[in-house]
Amino acid sequence: MFRRIYDWMLRMAGHRHALWIMAAVSFAESSFFPIPPDVMVVPMIVARRDRAFLIATVCTIASVLGGALGYAIGYYLYDSLGQWLVHLYGMEGGVETFRQKFAEYGMWIVLLKGLTPIPFKLVTIASGFAAFNFPLFMLCALITRGARFFLIAALLKRYGAPIQDFIEKRLNLVAWAFLAILVAGFAAVMYL
């Protein structure tokens, strides 16, 4: 099952529109889409290590701009669209907890949560809902998302061949581990 998806993603990584598709996924993930852009970033960099930092740059910019949309959803549309999205992902308790913590730890929440598997859309919507300082939010989002995607890019650029060999030899293990991390991120939001 995972082999076909992996092979398709590697083929798409070389597609002439791959960078823009990845940017759209990154933008959407920061505000409403459930799948993180890593599912495209990793195969794209593995396939084209010479473009690792371009891919990280585009992904970071798109993620931060998507974060601005997530912030706007939380700030302007929380009572309608924001609550619907939060309910769709089963994160009602998570948003209220974040809102209460923003007064004291807002900057650190954005910086730390942007690096974790906790869905970034929750952070962006909660930031808007808590009316966290928007310019500071954008700066923190740029720092944390940039750190995440540039770290991935640097590691894959440097160690891409061994990582690709590892992924291809243990594809099922890697895919299940990725899914487990994704589920753990959602679970952490719901239960922590």
99-139: per-residue pLDDT in tens?
A: 677 778 888 888 888 887 677 888 898 889 888 999 999 99
pLDDT of residue 6: 63
Q: What is the pLDDT of residue 60?
A: 97
User: What is residue 65's predicted lDDT score, i.e. its pLDDT?
Assistant: 97
Confidence (pLDDT) at 9: 64
CB distance 191 to 118 below 8 Å: no
The closest of 33, 35, 36, 46 to 148, measured between CA atoms, is 36
Per-position pLDDT tens, the chain of length 192: 556 766 666 676 777 888 998 999 899 989 888 778 887 888 889 888 899 999 999 999 999 999 999 999 989 988 887 778 777 767 676 666 766 777 788 888 888 888 876 778 888 988 898 889 999 999 999 999 999 999 989 999 988 777 767 766 776 676 677 667 666 665 665 554
Q: Are 83 and 134 in contact (CB under 8 A)?
A: no
Q: Which residue type sits at 94?
A: G
Q: Could you give the CA distance from residue 162 to residue 156 in angstroms, rounded to a whole number?
A: 9
pTM: 0.77
- Specify the DSSP element, H or E, that contains 104: helix 92-113
Instruction: Give exposure, 89-118, as e/b (b: 16+ Cβ within 10 Å).
Output: bebeebbeebbeebeeebeebbbebbebbb
Largest CA distance in the chain: 48
